[in-house]
């Protein structure tokens, strides 16, 4: 199985996402923002970073990239797409997920290991989790405050489109503690925290068992692997 | 005279504007008591190559709604023509 990771000008975590795909047992494929070629991948990750220096709005210019025409078409045809941090912002700007992300309510950039509760374990990227499972993955952003109009919020809450919620503290003022979303079909998932940074023992968040041993993020990638193999 | 279309975008009134709030905090530290709040928006200047027709203005409005602003978090406040003298 091939997982494509799109590199935009200003992407930072593209190689981490490729590594996560490899650790899960998939073949990572580097995709380029200026191309229209998805190179036969089975799933796509839009990685974290600061595409176009966050000019205009976070993710807004990247959402206009040539490759995004193909990503939107593939997503609408059911291909699994995961947007992490800046990738989540790009998905929102591309209208693949509802709402918007604004500057953290406290005004500070935040970087911490963040506990999350899994709210939807039936998306392409979350089937390896249980609903209600608590996981820890790193979070690092300055503009992660999720907002949406009241009517849409009611709809996404009602239809199970909230995929992850912040636990312990709301780190950025997101409505309803929303950390991540899925679309109606469950193939597109976006979240502010970074699962790709919690995929290899020794390089993840601390756990009760040992320092830096947290690998909760790997389940995103093993989930999509299983999802894709099951569909094949 | 080069015709320029100006697009003004502001964060929605009901949303927190942390950047504006930070500036308001600085005003208070300066001892300024005249201004009770600050909100920060964006001004885009679109240089027009040629005459500003109704169609060009409509195109600018469309651009303002679809790219220059995000309706979830911002409002387009004004789209208007400004004649600027440039060298």
Q: Which residues of B touch A (CB under 8 A)?
A: 11, 15-16, 18-19, 21-22, 67-68, 70, 72-73
In terms of pTM, does the model score above 0.80?
yes
- CB A37: neighbour CB atoms within 10 A? 12
Between B84 and B31, residue with greater pLDDT: B31
What pLDDT digit, counting tens, does each position of B22-41 carry? Answer: 899 999 899 988 998 999 99
Tokens, residue A212? 């830096």
- Nearest in space to A51 (alpha carbons), one of A40, A39, A60: A60
Q: What is the ipTM of this complex?
A: 0.85
Please answer yes or no on whether A102 and B19 come within 8 Å at the CB atom: no
- CB A25: neighbour CB atoms within 10 A? 13
CATH of residue A138: 3.40.50.880
Please answer yes or no on whether A107 and B68 come within 8 Å at the CB atom: no
Active site residue A58: no
Tokens, residue A63? 């959402």
Q: How many domains does chain A have?
A: 1
Distance CA B67, CA B74 (A): 11
Please tell me which residue in A33, A58, A70, A85 is annotated as part of the active site: A85
Distance CA A171, CA A155 (A): 24
Which residues of A33-121 form beta strands (DSSP E)?
Answer: 43-46, 81-84, 100-102, 110-118
Q: Is B64 helix (H, G, I), strand (E, B) or coil?
A: helix
Distance from CA of A215 to the nearest CA of B (A): 34
What confidence score (pLDDT) does residue B85 get? Answer: 58
Distance CA A230, CA A225 (A): 9
Please answer yes or no on whether A105 and B16 come within 8 Å at the CB atom: yes
- Nearest in space to A92 (alpha carbons), one of B71, B17, B15, B77: B71
Distance CA A83, CA A65 (A): 15
A10-24, A108-122, A159-173, B70-84: lowest mean pLDDT where? B70-84
Domain ranges of chain B: 2-15+42-84
Distance CA A139, CA A110 (A): 7
Please answer yes or no on whether B67 and A99 come within 8 Å at the CB atom: no
Domain containing A68: what range?
2-231
What pLDDT digit, counting tens, does each position of A39-61 carry? Answer: 999 999 999 999 999 999 999 99
What pLDDT digit, counting tens, does each position of A91-139 carry? Answer: 999 999 999 999 898 889 999 999 999 999 999 999 999 999 999 999 9
């Amino acid at each position: 199985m091939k997982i494509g990771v799109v590199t935009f000008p200003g992407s930072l975590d593209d190689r981490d996402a490729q590594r996560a795909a490899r650790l899960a047992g998939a073949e990572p494929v580097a995709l380029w923002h200026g191309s229209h070629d998805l190179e036969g991948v089975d799933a796509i990750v839009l990685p974290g970073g600061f595409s176009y220096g966050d000019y205009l709005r976070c993710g807004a210019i990247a959402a206009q990239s040539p490759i995004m025409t193909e990503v939107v078409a593939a997503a609408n045809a059911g291909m699994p797409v995961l947007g992490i941090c800046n990738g989540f912002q790009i998905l929102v700007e591309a209208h693949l997920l509802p709402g918007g992300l604004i500057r953290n309510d406290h005004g500070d950039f935040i970087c911490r290991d963040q506990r999350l509760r899994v709210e939807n374990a039936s998306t392409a990227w979350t089937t390896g989790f249980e609903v209600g499972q608590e996981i820890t993955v790193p979070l690092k952003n300055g503009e992660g405050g999720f907002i949406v109009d009241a009517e849409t919020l009611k709809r996404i809450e009602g239809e199970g489109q909230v995929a992850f919620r912040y636990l312990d503290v709301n780190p950025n003022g997101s409505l309803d503690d929303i950390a991540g979303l899925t679309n109606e079909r469950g193939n597109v998932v976006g979240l502010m925290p970074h699962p790709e940074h919690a995929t290899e023992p020794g390089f993840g968040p601390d756990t009760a068992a040992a320092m830096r041993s947290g690998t909760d993020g790997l389940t995103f990638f093993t989930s999509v692997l299983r999802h894709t193999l099951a569909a094949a | 005279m080069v015709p320029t279309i100006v697009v003004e975008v502001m964060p929605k009134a009901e949303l927190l504007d942390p950047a504006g709030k930070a500036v308001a905090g600085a005003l208070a530290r300066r001892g300024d008591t005249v201004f009770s709040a600050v909100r920060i928006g964006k001004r885009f200047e679109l240089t027009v190559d040629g005459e500003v027709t109704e169609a060009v203005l409509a195109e600018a409005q469309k651009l303002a709604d679809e790219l220059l602003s995000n309706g979830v978090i911002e409002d387009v406040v004004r789209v208007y023509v400004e004649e600027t003298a440039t060298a």
